[in-house]
Amino acid sequence: MLNRTADNAARATPEPLAKKIRGISDKGLAWLFISPTILLLLAINIFPLFWAIYLSFTNFRANRPNEVVKNLGLSNYQRILGDQDIWIAMQTTAHFVFWTILLQTVIGFTLAWLIDRKFRGHAFWTTIILVPMMLSPAVVGNFWRFLYEPQIGLFSYVISFVTGIPPTNVQMLSNVELAPWAIIIVDTWMWTPYVMLICLAGLRSIPEYIYEAAEVDRASNWRQFWSITLPMALPFIMLAVLFRGIENFKMFDMVNLLTGGGPGSTTEVASITLKRQAFESWRTGYSSAFAIILFVAVFGLANIYVKALNKVKQR
Amino acid sequence: MKSTLKLALGLASAALASTAVSTAAHAEDLTLCWAAWDPANALVELSKDFTKQTGIGMKFEFVPWTNYADRFLNELNSHGKLCDLIIGDSQWIGGAAENGHYVKLNDFFDKEKIKMDDFVPATVVGYSEWPKNTPNYWALPAMGDVVGWTYRKDWFSRPELQKEFKEKYGWDLAPPKTFDQLKQIAEFFQKRQIDGKTVYGASIYTERGSEGITMGAMDVLYSYGFQYENPKKPYEMEGYVNSEKSVKGLEFYKALYDCCTPPGASNSYMGEGVDAFKSGQVAMHMNFAFTWPGLQKDENVGGDKIGYFVNPKGPDGDQFAQLGGQGISVVSYSDKQESALKYIKWFANKDVQAKWWSLGGYSCLNAVVNDPKFPSSQPYAQAFLDSMAIVKDFWAEPSYAPLLQASQKRFHDYVVAGQGSAKDALDGLVKDWTQVFQDDGKM
Q: Which of A59, A63, A176 sits opposite B77 (nearest CB)?
A: A63
Q: Is the dihedral of CA A40, A43, A44, A46 positive or negative?
A: positive
- pLDDT of A50 reads 95
Residue B411, helix vs strand vs coil: helix
A225 touches chain B (CB under 8 A): no
Q: At CB < 8 Å, which residues of chain B contact A? A: 69-70, 73-74, 77, 79, 95, 98-100, 198, 208-209, 262-267, 281, 398, 401-402, 404-405, 409, 412-414, 416-419, 439
Q: Which of B73, B77, B264 sits opposite A149 (nearest CB)?
A: B264
| Interface contact flag, B99 A62, Cβ < 8 Å | no
Please report which confidence band the pLDDT of residue B74 belongs to, taking 50, 70 and 90 as the band edges: confident
Q: Is residue A67 one of the residues assigned to a domain?
A: no
Which residues of chain A have a CB within 8 Å of the CB of B401? Answer: 63, 280-282
3-state helix, strand, coil in chain A (%, to 5): 75, 0, 25
Which residues of chain B have a CB within 8 Å of the CB of A281? Answer: 401-402, 405
Chains A & B: contacts with CB separation below 8 Å? 93
Q: What contacts 24+ positions apart, CB below 8 Å, involve A162-168?
A: A168/B198, A168/B263, A168/B264
CA distances from B220 to A92, A140, A141, B75, B320 (A): 32, 36, 33, 33, 8
Residue A116, pLDDT > 50, answer: yes
Cis-peptide into A166, omega within 30 deg? no
CA–centroid distance for B198 within its chain: 31
What's the pLDDT tens digit per position in A41-87? 999 999 999 999 999 999 998 888 778 899 999 999 999 999 999 99
Residue B353, pLDDT > 70, answer: yes
- Best of B268, B400, B412 to substitute, by most chain A Cβ atoms within 10 angstroms, is B412
A75 touches chain B (CB under 8 A): no
| Interface contact flag, A176 B209, Cβ < 8 Å | no
The CATH number assigned to the domain holding A247 equals: 1.10.3720.10
CB A173 within 8 A of CB A184: no
| Average of per-residue pLDDT across B152-175 | 97
Listed by start position, the domains of chain B span 29-145+324-392, 147-322+399-439
DSSP B82-135: S-SEEEEEGGGHHHHHHTT-B---HHHHHHHT--GGGB-HHHIIIIIBSSTTSS
Q: Which residue from B205, B207, B249, B203 is spatially nearest to B225, judged by alpha carbons?
A: B249
Which residues of chain B have a CB within 8 Å of the CB of A282? Answer: 73, 77, 401-402
CB A108 within 8 A of CB A240: yes
| Average of per-residue pLDDT across B272-291 | 96
Please report which confidence band the pLDDT of residue A8 belongs to, taking 50, 70 and 90 as the band edges: low
What's the pLDDT tens digit per position in A253-266? 999 999 989 899 99
Which residues of chain A have a CB within 8 Å of the CB of B405? Answer: 276, 280-281
Q: What contacts 24+ positions apart, CB below 8 Å, involve A64-73?
A: A64/A282, A64/B95, A64/B98, A64/B99, A64/B398, A65/B77, A65/B79, A65/B99, A66/B99, A66/B100, A72/A285
Which residues of chain B have a CB within 8 Å of the CB of A60? Answer: none
Q: Domain limits at A141?
A: 81-314
CA distance A240 to chain B (A): 32
Residue A88, pLDDT > 90, answer: yes
Cis-peptide into A263, omega within 30 deg? yes
- pLDDT of B28 reads 75
> Domain B147-322+399-439, what fold?
D-Maltodextrin-Binding Protein; domain 2 (3.40.190)
pLDDT mean across residues, chain A: 90
Q: Where are the alpha helices (DSSP H) in A154-252?
A: 154-163, 179-204, 208-216, 221-224, 230-249
Residue A20, pLDDT > 60, answer: yes
**A67 to chain B: nearest residue by CA?**
B99
Is the domain B29-145+324-392 a CATH 3.40.190.10 member? yes
Q: Is residue A164 one of the residues assigned to a domain?
A: yes
Domain count for chain A, please give it: 1
What's the pLDDT tens digit per position in A204-251? 999 999 999 999 999 999 999 999 999 999 999 999 999 999 999 999
Which residues of chain A have a CB within 8 Å of the CB of B262? Answer: 151
DSSP strands (E only) in B164-238: 192-194, 197-203
CA B335 to CA A47: how far, in whole Å?
Answer: 32
Q: Which residue from B310, B297, B324, B322 is spatially nearest to B378, judged by alpha carbons?
A: B297
Q: Say which residues have a Cβ less than 8 Å from residue A60's Cβ, sequence separation at least 6.
A: A69, A284, A285, A288
Q: Which of A63, A150, A283 sits opposite B264 (nearest CB)?
A: A150
| Average of per-residue pLDDT across B91-108 | 93
- pLDDT of B210 reads 85
Residue B24, pLDDT > 90, answer: no
- pLDDT of B22 reads 44
- pLDDT of A220 reads 93
CA–centroid distance for B18 within its chain: 43
Please report which confidence band the pLDDT of residue B161 belongs to, taking 50, 70 and 90 as the band edges: very high
Q: Which position has the higher pLDDT, A315 or B337? A: B337
Which residues of chain A have a CB within 8 Å of the CB of B73? Answer: 63, 282
Q: Is the dihedral of CA B295, B299, B303, B306 positive or negative?
A: negative
- pLDDT of A7 reads 61
- pLDDT of A13 reads 65
What share of chain A in percent tops pLDDT 70? 93
